[in-house]
Amino acid sequence: MKRILLLAVFGSVAWAQLTPQETTANLESFDVVWRTVRDRHPDPKLNGLNWQAVHEEVRPKVAAATSMDEVRGALTSMLDRLGASHYAVIPGSRYKAAEPVTAPAVATRVSVTAVETRPPPSAPEAEKVVAPAPVVVPAAVEASAEPPQKGKLVTFGNLPEQRIYFESRRLPGGSGYIHFNEFLDPVSIMPQVAAAMKEFAKAPGIVLDLRGNPGGIGIMAMGIAGFFVSKEGQKLGEMKMRDMTLKFVIYPRGEVYEGPLAILVDGGSASTSEILAQGLRDLGRARIFGTRTAGAALPSDIVRLPNGDGFQYAQASYISEKGKVLEGAGVDPDEEVRETREALSAGRDVVAEAAEKWILGLRR
């Protein structure tokens, strides 16, 4: 019996071994990850980290790995040393019906007016194409969280499929309530926001719920801010890359809502959600309710690696209009409100209630 068990165990280990071709693809993937961080990290000095020494330490671990879990663990451990959000390895299994990848695919580069998608630094610059919008997605949330089961599946760039949903309604006191779970699918989400804003044009206030929203397409923040800011030339902040600074400029809508605006946030609010919330508060346009946000506000790109996995990396830093750095700090609410077990059991949303109480109190 013992001999049979040992044969079964060793047989299982042998079966799990990576093939030479897989090891080669993993080493090529390591090289793409390492070079991309070296060449694209917002700080050319990588905050003093000896990146070459990290290369010499980690590459042999990838070469000796016997499973994809080991490979991803080595890469993740390497990226963790950067001490920043928006660095993650996304397992290839998260890409629906992904075709075999033989070379790095294009990455999405953030721009205020358009997005330039291009290969990693090692690929020919001649392969540039133009995509519709920038991505500002929190790696830790996107790489690990399961999407909600409601909503429709959408794709964007090199992100895995995501479920996106939108909801709006009137709160008991008459305030308008708007919520969507990610800043993606602008073709669907933005018209729904516009329709809700038209419906709530005469509401005593608007409650914009960004709780649990991990971010997404950065320019959607500017588009949504345009519903609430009437003055031309206002900004939500600045995105600083190695070679340029891009501004999150707000373009006011034809009809701007000028009543009270409450924004709801929590620890799941990240990236674009944080930029929008802090940006509107800096402009004196919103009051924030809930709990501190994730502190993960770095514009990022995502590429597909030779081994089929995805790699997300930060390529810019963000500073709010009043000079606040959100990365690692998050957005602190003006009024901290925490959910309670009793309130949830009773079907109450105490954060939204606090926001509407503030809105209605302004009318007295």
Under DSSP, is residue 257 helix (H, G, I), strand (E, B) or coil? Answer: coil
Question: What does the pLDDT read at residue 113?
Answer: 26
What are the structural domains of the chain?
1-83 (3.30.750), 139-361 (3.90.226.10)
Assess whether pLDDT exceeds 60 at residue 223: yes
Mean of the pLDDT values across residues 99-104? 43
Q: Which of 289, 304, 301 is nearest to 356 (CA)?
A: 289
* pLDDT greater than 60 at residue 266: yes
Q: Which two tokens stand for residue 59?
A: 């590459």
Q: Does the structure show a pLDDT above 50 at 228? A: yes
Give the list of residues 6+ apart from residue 174 with CB closer than 8 angstroms, or none: 203, 204
Q: Whose structure tokens read 């007295």? A: 364
Mean pLDDT of 341-361: 94
Q: What is the mean pLDDT of residues 219-230?
A: 96
Average pLDDT value for residue range 229-243:
92
Measured in degrees and rounded to the nearest 5, phi and psi for residue 153 equal: -80, 130
- Average pLDDT of the residues of the chain: 83
Res 12: pLDDT = 37
Please give the pLDDT value at position 124.
Answer: 30
- Given a contact cutoff of 8 angstroms between Cβ atoms, the answer to whether 314 and 42 are in contact is yes
Mean pLDDT for the stretch of residues 224-235: 96
Q: Check residues 134 and 16 and name the one with the higher pLDDT.
A: 16
Tens digit of each residue's pLDDT (9 = 90 or more) over 84-101 = 999 999 999 888 554 444
Which has more confidence, 132 or 246?
A: 246
- What is the pTM for the complete model shown? 0.77
d(CA 260, CA 362): 8
Q: What is the mean pLDDT of residues 258-272?
A: 96
The predicted structure's pLDDT at residue 364: 67
Residue 96 has a pLDDT of 55
CA-nearest of 178, 179, 180, 185 to 162 is 185
Please give the Cα distance from 205 to 67 (Å, whole number): 54
**pLDDT tens readout for residues 35-89:** 999 999 999 999 899 999 999 999 999 999 999 999 999 999 999 999 999 999 9
pLDDT in tens, 315-341: 899 999 999 999 989 999 999 999 989
Given pLDDT bands bounded at 50, 70 and 90, which one contains residue 16? Answer: low
Is the pLDDT score of 151 beyond 50? Answer: yes
Write down the pLDDT at residue 160.
79
Query: What local confidence, expressed as pLDDT, does residue 282 receive?
Result: 97
Mean pLDDT of 195-215: 97
238-263 pLDDT, tens digit per residue, is: 998 888 888 999 999 999 999 999 99
